[in-house]
Every structure is written in structure tokens, then in C-alpha cells.
Amino acid sequence: MKETILITGGAGFIGRHLAKALLERGYRIRVLDSLIEQVHGPSGNTSTLPKEVEVIIGDVRDASAVASAVKGVDRVVHLAAEVGVGQSMYAVERYVSVNDCGTAVLFEALINQPVKRVVVASSMSVYGEGLYRTVDGALVDDAVRRSRRPGEPWDPLDAQGRPMRPVPTPETKLPALASVYALTKYMQERLTLTLTPAYGMEGVALRLWNAYGPGQALSNPYTGVLAIFAARIHNGQPPMIFEDGEQRRDFVHVEDVARAFVLALEHPAAADQVYNVGSGVDRSVRDVAHLLAQAMGRPDIIPETTGQARSGDIRHCIADITRIERELGFQPQQDFAAGLAELAAWVAKQQAVDRVAEARRELEARGLVA
């Protein structure tokens, strides 16, 4: 008999794609989700989930809802979380409560009803700045950006004041927690990897880079950067980019992310491990904004660079996916240009409320943009 898998936060962007992938492999799927308005809109619609999915509407901090959700479950994917670096820097209680207390409530339920394996969604944000190399060739794994004066480089500097070059960041790099969001995600993965072996379970943490694809919450100004850009372009507005737009990121298609979760759930070698999940290719945020505008048929829309820094942001973090490729056989399969075309076609059929200016005002009012 096939196993039952619980996906907390499973009505969200990644959860819906993962539920579909797991159903195709014959699993029974149960979802626990609170359907918060910022992500799901005022209606809290679950119609985008496959009809075979059992849905429990409830908060991951609600012990009775969580106890019901884990009953009879064989494995758990823990996606439930508040997501957004900028918002986390002022909605502190909300992020800590949902992400960390919610994970604690989940594990108290699992102590009473253990499962075979728990896979938690962590984040590349736990690294802070990624790995760098100096002009002399030395690797620097503790780079920190100092306060920038006008005219100075945006990139972290070495001890001699020279800009350093970003290189792929492996799982062995020590965390450098630069935002409340990063703090909460690291706590989620440490709770998972501490408590699972103590109670005879297996734990896996996946550190996700920038997931994109159809189905993202276009009206959420704190969601993935490609969805934020798409909402702006869809409404005839230029994408707004902090700093100078040359910060580099790895964008990974949501179907590849779902594939990584399947491997993390099933592969024997994944037990008690941490893996990066990205595409293995880095791009500047400015280039990505231009490519998306072209894919959406609006090459005339030019991204706006603010020249301002946002508290909690890092400059560069590039995924080294060597380990998950070697140990689990993970291979990103989605071509970026094709993925942007797919996203553009989906966005064209959606309504998106552009709340980016509103979010920026919130950050500026609190002194979090300078």
C-alpha cells in the first residue's frame, strides 16, 4: 500500500507542484494550510490543488489541527512558513511565530506520532553572503558588506579594500544570518535535524534558491522576485530593483524544486543531510528583469534601479549543487528561456495587483531602505 505524505503549507506555490508530482508517483497526499490572504487572496481558494488531495484548513501553530494532520501519515514535507526577507525585518513576531513556533508545534505532534522522514524547506538566505574569491585567489566564507559610501562598490571588499568575486556556495559554508527570515529558516532546519534522530525519524533540509514558474502569488510584494517583476510588467510598470541590479542569483524552476523534494523524500542517502537546490547557473537580477520583459512582449519596459540598499539583503549568493547531483542524482531539467516563456504565458491570463510601491513605502517608513 502506498504511503501518505503530509505537506504543510501545501496549497502554496511549491506545495501544489509537489502534490501533483507525488500523486503521479502513487502517493496519497494530505495538505495542511491556513490559506493566508497575502498569499492566497481574500477567497482562500484551493481549487488549484489536484482533486485527489485531502485538504485540512488550519494553522501550523494550532496543535489540534496539526495533530489531526499528522495522524496516519508516513512522511512529512514542511513548507509552511512566512516568506519575505524585507517584511521579516519589521513583522518580527509574525515570522518567528509561524516559522519557528509552527515548526515546534509540528514536532511536538510528531513526537507522539513519529513518521519515517521529515523534509523541511530551508533557504539560501541562511548563508548570508555567499562564498567569494579575492583577486589573489583566496576563498572568503565570512564576507560581510560594510555600510556603503556614495561611489563605493556594492560588492563586499577584501582586507585591502578590493571588490571580491562571488563563486558557488557549498553546503559546508557556515551560516551568516542577515535577516529575521534567515534566522527563522535556519531554526526550522536545525529543529528538524535535531529532533528527527532523537525520535527515530529521518530528517532532510533543502536550502532553496529562487524558485519561479506558473502559480506564484503575483499580488504578494514579498514573494519571489520573478513574480514581483511579472506583476509590475503585467501592469505596464517597470520592475524595481534595489542597488544597481548587478547582484547575482540562481533561478530554479518550481518543477525542478518539486523533483528535488521527491528525491529528498525517497532516496536512502538523503537521511539527516542538507542540500542546496538551484539550477547551477547564476544571472544578474537586471538581466533577468530584461529577459522577462521580453518574454512578456514588453521589451520597451526598462527596469528601474533604485540605487538603494534594503536591510537584510545580501549581494551575491550562487548555488553549488554538486552535492545533490552526486548523492541524489538531481539534475535541473528546465531551460530558463522556456521557463520564462511559460511564466509569461501564465501571467497573461491572470490579474495581478501591483503592491510593490506600497511595500517599498513600508520599508522606507521604518528606515529599512537607504
- For helices 13-24 and 254-266, the axis angle rounded to 10 degrees is 60
Predicted confidence at residue 21, as pLDDT, reads 97
Cα–Cα distance, 330 to 275 (Å, whole number): 10
The Cβ of residue 304 has, within 10 Å, a number of other Cβ atoms equal to: 14
pLDDT at 2: 87
Predicted local distance difference test score (pLDDT) of residue 369: 72
Which pLDDT does position 343 carry in this prediction?
Answer: 93
Task: Kindly list the catalytic residues.
Answer: 181
DSSP state of 163: B
Q: Provide the whole-model pTM.
A: 0.94
pLDDT, position 43:
61
Cα–Cα distance measured from residue 206 to residue 340, given in angstroms and rounded to the nearest whole number: 24
Task: Fill in the amino acid letter for 96.
Answer: V
In the prediction, which pLDDT does 145 show?
A: 82
Instruction: Report d(CA 106, CA 52) in Å as an integer.
Output: 24
Domains along the chain with CATH numbers: 4-131+168-363 (3.40.50.720), 132-167 (no CATH)
What is the pLDDT at residue 351?
A: 80
Distances (CA, A) of 71 to 49, 66, 269, 308: 21, 9, 26, 48
Instruction: Show the cell assigned to 347.
Output: 501571467
Which parts of the chain sit beneath pLDDT 70?
1, 41-46, 222, 356, 359, 370
pLDDT value of position 367: 76
SS3 152: coil
CA-nearest of 310, 309, 292 to 301 is: 292
pLDDT, position 44? 60
Task: For 268-309, write each residue's pLDDT tens digit.
Answer: 999 999 999 999 999 999 999 999 999 999 999 999 998 888
Q: Which residue has the cell 537584510?
A: 312
Cα angle vertex 203, ends 199, 77, to 5°? Answer: 110
**Amino acid 217: pLDDT:** 81
> pLDDT tens-digit profile of 202-247?
999 999 999 999 988 877 776 778 888 998 999 999 999 989 999 9
Q: Residue holding cell 539583503?
A: 313
Query: Residue 42 has what pLDDT?
Result: 60
